[in-house]
Structure 1
Amino acid sequence: MDKHDSAKSGKGSLPGPKIPSKAAQIAHDATIKLQYAMNSSTISRIEGPNLFSMARHISTFARLLEAILADLSIDRRPFLDLRERYFGWWKPSSTTHLPWEAITNTTGIVLTAGQGNMALAAHAIRTLRNVVNTTLPIQVAYAGDDDLPAHKRRIMRALDPQLELINILDHYDEDVAGLRSGGYAMKPFAALASSFERVIIIDADTIFMQRPDEWFEEHAGLKRTGTLFFHDRAYGGRKTTDWVKNLLKESGQKPSTTLNSTLYWREELEHQQESGVVYFDKAIPGAFMSLLFTTYMNLQHVRAHLYGQVSGDKETFWLAAELAKIPYAFHPTYAGIIGPISTNVEGVPEICSPQPLQTDLYGRPFWFNSGLMEDKTNAENRKYANLTYYIPGGTRKQPVGGWRFIHDHTFCMGRSVEEMISVKDAGLGEVAKGLIDEAKAVDEMFRVTTG
């Protein structure tokens, strides 16, 4: 065989250039797009509260992150550089769970607490541990010593030996984040800073009647998207709906299938989401970038614009995913109510309470908001909630009889007695009793501790 034959057969020839993988091509294109945007005049729009500019960048980041996780041979330095340039206000620590550096796959619960809601948070922590018996680690985020002084932190640690306290100010540029006065805004910041890969974010006044642990495996929407949100009460009102519709119209963006199918969108409810519990699987790139976008929406200068249109942080979780065209999931039912049966002036049976209830996949009580006091807004009222009956929320239409707003956080829902379900008959009577007993024990501990 001469050299020409050798060349034909390929023997002894040099290897051809390596063809980039599909993931590498996606990463290259996304990197170029983000670098161009950062180096062009659009930087001014990135830094301001222009939600659609940031939504496009978040969507590109999600594709880039998915690519570098799919192909370990891709150089990650451009991604890390862009992450720092776009989100310089975020300062990940050595304990922050980052999908591109993940070495553990932990699941945990995160809540924020300060002096103002410390007792509510204590109820939530101790009932999680001692009543529904979760074994998940719990992290409590606070905004510096003024928010939760050292002696208060010692009291919190006494609630649970496994409890971890995080000073959220160590993880962000306070001049940009504004967390000392953040209030509700702190929740996404706490979730992003957390060491957990799979995180359950809860309000300080959220009370579980069942363990939250298994939902990452059991809920199809959460497994598919890495997110799970819960609907608020199906209460009529157009303020937020009109604003969101105008927002999408201005951008020329059509509502996603998820949004278009909701009662909130079709019948113009006042609120879409009850953010007392939010699930994120940060291992899924879209879910992680959606959380980062939610955090951006709650930065000081952005929320100053947003909170005039929506009630605190609650709508920012799903809206971030919607604007960035990232898949997200809602539990199908709207909020119901839990409390005692009474009769209104027209003789109609109803349940009145400030506690909106979320049910599980089988219609049984899962969790409720507004704590374990009859009225958490009235410091003089030391009565505990009456957790005897409940009305589950619906999925397709506003509830028959509707919601009736009374005062502060209290609503009533009228139904026939036959439609009001006993908590005991749902198999959770002992849990309901245990919740109240645990709250009383915590309050007694606080009374003795604080004198």
Structure 2
Amino acid sequence: MQVFSFMSSSRRIQCLRIIIALGIFSTLVSVSRYQGSLEFSIDEDGQVQSVPEPVPEPEVYRTHHIATYNPEDIKPWTKEDAAALLTPEGQKIVQALTESPFKPPELLHQNNPHLLKDDYFSTLTKRLRVYRALWYELKGYYDELVATGKQEQLYEAPPSDIAPSLEFLQRIEQVTFPWIWKHHGTSYDLHRKLQNGGRGIVICVGDHHFRYARTSVKALREVLKSTLPIEIYYTGESDLSPENRAWFESFDDVRTIDITKVVDNDMVALKGWAIKPFALLLSRFSEAILLDSEAYFLSPPEVLFEDPGYKEVGTVFFYDRSLFPGAGGNKRAWMQRFLPTMSNHPPKTQWFNLRGDHEMESGVVAIDKMRHFLGLLAICKLNDLYEREQVTYVMTWGDKEAFWIALEMIQERYSFNRFRAGVIGNVGDAIPYNDDLPQEEVDRYLAGEILTETNPINREGKQTHRDSVNMDRVCGNQVHYDYKGRPLWWNTGVVRNKYIYKSPYLRYTAYMNDEDGFWDFDNSCLVQKHSNANKELEWDQRQTAFKILKADRDVVVEINNPSYMILELPRLVKSDGAKGGRGNSEAV
């Protein structure tokens, strides 16, 4: 490499121009915020949504919040960038983006060699954006090697014009995604392996959650008649017993996979929430639905692949509840510290508007892995060992916010269904579920003597009183909606309180939207803000929910474990609904 002092004046000027042309590295000094330079539309909730012009499907920008970036903020890799890598200044930037993320030992108080630098997430954002530009620029060369069966020679003697860029890409992969290499070679190899993988469902299960996942799989196959293949991921032999694995694999097209056999787990030490994005990435599917073990659908999950937001940008994300405003510090300031530019979506969030501490619910995530392969790598990175322990899980609740924040970092568009999570269950809180309630009160509930306002008649046709009923609320599980506002799936189990041994099944007669109520978080209820906030679940969905309860009861009987109580199924009567079985048309 030549040194400036030996260059001619014209050569120096040329070199300086190359350095100035390093557009991809401008993120190192950029502090701009995307204010929306595109066309505007107004969401039904009054929020401004900037949209690309022309709009391919105008309605999708009313039913979804689509993260849209200023095109000027997306920096492609250029020939000038490649040339600048040969300069001393260019090499300094390469070094800055690929050096160790950990503080040097002399700056550590407790001699911890794995304490991340204070500005690490800022560096990680810049690294991910450069990696994205490099990856797409060099993919053509990889494809040429594939055509001749020489893809394993990717980093061996590349053409001189791309050699510096390819070396830079390799260094970024080494420092960012080293856990890929043990089983998959380069990221290009993994991406190629996932092509033509079809669609499927991914569930992460250990013995602790086996009972819930067993109900979920049974409901998917026997109630909803879903034909999507299912992959069950677990972490090592001690996580999911051979007997439980065999039960899952007794169903058609259901496989169990030890994730420690497909990723270098010595590096990432997967456990808990962190398993989910890695399972999603490493599953064989090209398009996948990530499903929590205790999430249950009211319609076949295949409908997510037809969601307009999914078709537009390749994701369906669901919002969480409006909870804990101001908790966890100033998340807006935190994001602005490491995102030099961002899409138009963060200003819509609870965080930026100080209305809540939870944005996304990751109990169900639908993603097109071919469109978001690099985004999935970034999501996994935020769930990597040191990232999750020192930043992601400290600033957020588990894995969930990592999905959209990682896509902001690497600049990939994403879609949120615009409805926030609500509650599905029963009108009023007449369900006895506390440990200190006498058994006779539980028996009265199961016998239909503790009732909702719309059905004051018990099984024997006698008028009864409404003990313990607060008719201003809906209590039960957390519900999420399709893009039209119709309940689509719920999570947190099938009983009033899964942590209480004798807690009975919910009846699933009603639901309430987040915006229509105040949260009674401790009791999992929404208390109405106005009359008619309680909505009746449509009869077909009530029947589906009842069949899922039957599936759950069958599972408990099959398991035959004294620690699992065999519950009595609730009545399925049309007149028990929130509106006396008359139905409603509140869905958008």
Tell me how far apart the structure 2 counterparts of residues 117 and 101 of structure 1 sit (CA, whole Å). 30
- What's the counterpart of residue 414 of structure 1? 528
Q: Which moved more, 1:362-371 or 1:441-450?
A: 441-450
Tell me how far apart the structure 2 counterparts of residues 122 and 373 of structure 1 sit (CA, whole Å). 15
Specify which of 219, 232, 235 is matched with residue 140 of structure 1. Answer: 232
Specify the code of the residue in structure 1 equivalent to 2:179. Answer: W
Q: Percent identity?
A: 24
**1:49-107: CA deviation from partner (whole Å, max 9, x where unpaired):** 72222222222333334445578766672568457524111247579993334541411
Any idea what SS the aligned residue of 1:205 has?
coil
Tell me how far apart the structure 1 counterparts of residues 285 and 471 of structure 2 sit (CA, whole Å). 47
Q: Which moved more, 1:272-281 or 1:416-425?
A: 416-425
The higher relative CO (CA closer than 8 Å, separation ≥ 6) is in 1
Specify the code of the residue in structure 2 equivalent to 1:250. Answer: R
**C-alpha displacement at 1:319, in angstroms?**
1.1
Conserved 8 A contact 1:226-1:328: yes
Q: Which moved more, 1:440-449 or 1:380-389?
A: 440-449
Q: What is the 5 A alignment of 1:153-192?
A: 153-158=245-250, 160-179=251-270, 182-192=271-281
Distance 1:401 1:168, change over 3 A: same
Conserved 8 A contact 1:52-1:323: no
**1:216-235: CA deviation from partner (whole Å, max 9, x where unpaired):** 2x323322322221100122
Specify the code of the residue in structure 2 equivalent to 1:128. Answer: L
Q: What is the 5 A alignment of 1:48-447?
A: 48=116, 50-68=120-138, 77-78=154-155, 81=170, 84-86=173-175, 87-91=177-181, 93=183, 98-158=190-250, 160-179=251-270, 182-216=271-305, 218-240=306-328, 242-251=329-338, 253-284=340-371, 287-305=372-390, 306-342=392-428, 349-353=472-476, 355-378=477-500, 380-381=501-502, 383-393=504-514, 399-407=515-523, 410-414=524-528, 418-425=532-539, 427-447=540-560
Any idea what SS the aligned residue of 1:428 has?
helix
Distance 1:91 1:116, change over 3 A: farther
**C-alpha displacement at 1:133, in angstroms?**
1.5
Distance 1:155 1:252, change over 3 A: closer
Specify the code of the residue in structure 1 equivalent to 2:402. Answer: T
**1:400-436: CA deviation from partner (whole Å, max 9, x where unpaired):** 44211225xx3333355633222234x3122111111
Specify the code of the residue in structure 1 equivalent to 2:95. Answer: S
Distance 1:250 1:102, change over 3 A: closer
| Structure 2: runs of 5+ lacking an equivalent | 1-75, 103-115, 146-150, 156-165, 431-467, 565-588
Conserved 8 A contact 1:91-1:171: no
- What's the counterpart of residue 5 of structure 1? none
Distance 1:94 1:316, change over 3 A: closer
Any idea what SS the aligned residue of 2:179 has?
coil
Q: When the two structures are superposed, what TM-score results if normalisation uses the length of structure 1?
A: 0.81
Conserved 8 A contact 1:359-1:392: no
**1:106-165: CA deviation from partner (whole Å, max 9, x where unpaired):** 11110100011000111111111111221100001000011112222123323x232111
**C-alpha displacement at 1:346, in angstroms?**
10
Specify the code of the residue in structure 1 equivalent to 2:326. Answer: R
Distance 1:81 1:70, change over 3 A: closer
Tell me how far apart the structure 2 counterparts of residues 94 and 103 of structure 1 sit (CA, whole Å). 14
Conserved 8 A contact 1:209-1:431: yes
Conserved 8 A contact 2:97-2:127: no
Distance 1:391 1:74, change over 3 A: same
Q: Which moved more, 1:340-349 or 1:299-308?
A: 340-349
Q: When the two structures are superposed, what TM-score results if normalisation uses the length of structure 2?
A: 0.63
Distance 1:416 1:61, change over 3 A: same
| Structure 1: runs of 5+ lacking an equivalent | 1-24, 394-398
Tell me how far apart the structure 2 counterparts of residues 269 and 292 of structure 1 sit (CA, whole Å). 28
Specify the code of the residue in structure 2 equivalent to 1:301. Answer: Y
Conserved 8 A contact 2:480-2:488: yes
Distance 1:82 1:429, change over 3 A: same
Aligned residues: 410
Distance 1:343 1:200, change over 3 A: closer
**C-alpha displacement at 1:239, in angstroms?**
2.6
Conserved 8 A contact 2:268-2:384: yes
Conserved 8 A contact 1:197-1:283: yes
Tell me how far apart the structure 1 counterparts of residues 196 and 143 of structure 2 sit (CA, whole Å). 21
RMSD (CA atoms): 3.2
Distance 1:101 1:139, change over 3 A: closer
Specify the code of the residue in structure 2 equivalent to 1:266. Answer: N
- What's the counterpart of residue 19 of structure 1? none
Higher radius of gyration, 1 or 2: 2
Distance 1:174 1:92, change over 3 A: closer
